[in-house]
Structure 1
Amino acid sequence: MIVKFSKHGKGKASGVLDYLLKEKGSKGTLVPRTHAKVLYGDPVLTEHLINTTSHKTKYKSGYLSFSERADEISEADKKRIMQEFEAVIFCGLENDQYDILWVEHADKDIDDAHPVGRLELNFVIPCQELRSGKSFQPYYEPADQKRVNAWKNIINSEVKTIKGEPLSDPNDPERKRLVNPYSSNAPRPTPFDMKAYTKEDADKDEEVIANPPSRKLLEEAIKRRLLLDWQEGIAMNRRRVLGRLEQWGLKINRGNSEKTLSVTSSKLTDKNGKPMGVRLKGGMFERGFDGLRFQPHNKEREHSIYDHRVSRNERKQSDETLLATGIKIKEAYHQERYKSSATLEPLVSDRVVEQELEVSKPTTTENYYKSFRCSGIIKLDSC
């Protein structure tokens, strides 16, 4: 399982909700999306909160993506994963201080042998603390990435499929690829069929690299050409990768991380004339890349010597410590930022709610908001 957060969040709620819950029908109209279902939350309430907030960033969305299919993970484990994710994101907040919508997708990689696709747990979070109305940032990468990644690693080590098999571990060395075939801005799947890659295709990619029309196309062309070089025994180590990029007229930016490379082309600029960077991800772009390690026989030998399961157990202990520390820090931040909301009086008194709805005091977040919707404060068709 991996965790991904979207960069979108400033538009109306219809954009993200239509994607999650609807698809185009045969006549071009939107119809309910096949293999999509709401697991938790209320789309009407989430839409209302997003569309009425005055904050610039209106929502944060993303997904938990699994290699396993939706029917290979129990409903109890799905519930556990969602609840623990909320505990990691909303550290120190009560249930009525935030809203989250969970939608399951099971339409990826469906075929005749597998009528149920891979599991995706999609989430949408309005960027507003509900008691005070203050802005709320569910995920800020520099501050939250380590904590979320630690939680992800723990879930991958603890949760098992209904057959008792562990979840796929994205940190397994055998899962490392020479390049990440997915552009961050490209629709999936990105065209990366190297078996059908001809010399004519290579020439076209070199033209794209020389005169890139967009970052997405430049990124894909670079990766395909380097993969072809590797297959032909040319780009076999870090030095040769850098030399190839420079040969194509690309500038290698300083400050590259241990895991990625960033390049720019003088022919690809933004509206201000500044070169636009392209970040390249994958084993080929790591600082210590040696192509020989990616040869099948060498990967098998390396994996037999290096017992990844032992390393996984050691990492789990480190992840548990990192997660506990991260939660403590984030919890203190949330409690300090929203401390004036801790004893906020309810918008509608319990007596009024009981008189108008003839029900007892709400005991869950779902019923709490339903009381407001059905009393006219928020309009809901199902009331």
Structure 2
Amino acid sequence: MIVKFFKNSGGGSANATMNYLLGKENDREGARLLSGDPELTKRLSDSLNFQNRYTVGVLSFEEVNLPDDDKRAIMESFESSLLAGLDKDQYNMTWIEHTDKERLELNFVIANVELTTGKRLQPYFDRVDRPLVENWKQVTNHEYGLTDPHDPDKAQAVKTLNRQNLPKEVQQLKAQI
């Protein structure tokens, strides 16, 4: 399993996000509502005047499917880790399952507001929360016997060049090619 937060996705209307996740008429093939209320999440997110009104992400599994009890336990564990110290009535989160890509995806949408105070809620701040989410991911992968993206058997024998690993000097580039 990997955990992915979608960059700066909370700036527009939550309606477009929900239309993608569930389909415009809630008819997307392979999509199933697991938890939460999509309409409430949309309306709540769209009513906020914060710059980023909602947070969207996914738990993506190489496995085609998992038992429903495992999915529920993983979702609850993720929520309690990411939103530590908050009760369920203090935040709004919707979970939508996708199985149309020959793997399991558990998509989530969080309205960025603490419900009892109306103040902005930042559920994920990358620089601070990335190690927490990475540790949660590794423990969860181990506990449930899920495919680990850090497994040495998954490493690519030849890494392709891209902006992140492109050498500064042309000589280094030629030698690498």
Task: Report the TM-score, using the length of structure 2 for normalisation.
Answer: 0.89
Counterpart in the other structure of 2:6: 6
Cα–Cα, structure 1 residues 55 and 152, in superposed 2: closer, same or farther, change >3 Å? Answer: same
Counterpart in the other structure of 1:20: 21
Q: Distance in 1 between matches of 2:21 and 2:159?
A: 29
Q: How does 1:4-83 map to 2 (within 5 A)?
A: 4-7=4-7, 8-22=9-23, 32-70=27-65, 73-83=66-76
Aligned-pair CA distance for 1:55:
1.1
Counterpart in the other structure of 1:176: 155
Q: Distance in 1 between matches of 2:79 and 2:147?
A: 22
Q: Distance in 2 between matches of 1:31 and 1:128?
A: 25
Q: Distance in 2 between matches of 1:242 and 1:95?
A: 48
Which entry has the higher C-alpha Rg, 1 or 2? 1
Cα–Cα, structure 1 residues 246 and 61, in superposed 2: closer, same or farther, change >3 Å? Answer: same
- Aligned residue for 1:100, secondary structure, equals strand
Q: Distance in 2 between matches of 1:48 and 1:92?
A: 25
Select the structure that is richer in helix: 1
Cα–Cα, structure 1 residues 38 and 31, in superposed 2: closer, same or farther, change >3 Å? Answer: closer
| 1:291-346, Cα deviation, whole Å (9 max, x unpaired) | xxxxxxxxxxxxxxxxxxxxxxxxxxxxxxxxxxxxxxxxxxxxxxxxxxxxxxxx
In the alignment, does 2:93 pair up with 1:93? Answer: no
Q: Distance in 1 between matches of 2:92 and 2:146?
A: 28
Aligned-pair CA distance for 1:248:
10
Q: Distance in 2 between matches of 1:15 and 1:106?
A: 20
Q: How many residues align?
A: 171
In the alignment, does 2:146 pair up with 1:151? Answer: no
Instruction: Give the AA of the match of 1:14.
Output: N
Q: How does 1:89-128 map to 2 (within 5 A)?
A: 89-108=82-101, 117-128=102-113
Instruction: Give the AA of the match of 1:154.
Output: V
Counterpart in the other structure of 1:206: none
Q: How does 1:181-260 map to 2 (within 5 A)?
A: 222-223=161-162, 242=167, 246=170
- State the structure with bigger RCO (CA 8 A, min sep 6), 1 or 2: 2
Q: Distance in 1 between matches of 2:55 and 2:86?
A: 17
Aligned-pair CA distance for 1:44:
1.1
Instruction: Give the AA of the match of 1:242.
Output: P
Q: Distance in 1 between matches of 2:159 and 2:70?
A: 32
Q: Distance in 1 between matches of 2:128 and 2:69?
A: 30
Aligned-pair CA distance for 1:176:
1.5
Q: Distance in 2 between matches of 1:66 and 1:242?
A: 33
Task: Report the TM-score, using the length of structure 1 for normalisation.
Answer: 0.42
Aligned-pair CA distance for 1:31:
6.3
Aligned-pair CA distance for 1:173:
1.0
Q: Distance in 2 between matches of 1:31 and 1:100?
A: 18
What is the alpha-carbon root mean square deviation over aligned residues? Answer: 2.4
Instruction: Give the AA of the match of 2:167.
Output: L
Q: Distance in 1 between matches of 2:13 and 2:40?
A: 14
Structure 1 gap segments, 5+ residues each: 24-29, 109-116, 160-165, 181-221, 224-237, 250-289, 291-383
- Contact 2:19 2:26 (C-alpha < 8 Å) held by counterparts: no
Q: Distance in 1 between matches of 2:152 and 2:137?
A: 17
Aligned-pair CA distance for 1:60:
0.3
Q: Distance in 2 between matches of 1:87 and 1:246?
A: 49
In the alignment, does 2:167 pair up with 1:167? Answer: no
Q: Distance in 1 between matches of 2:67 and 2:46?
A: 34
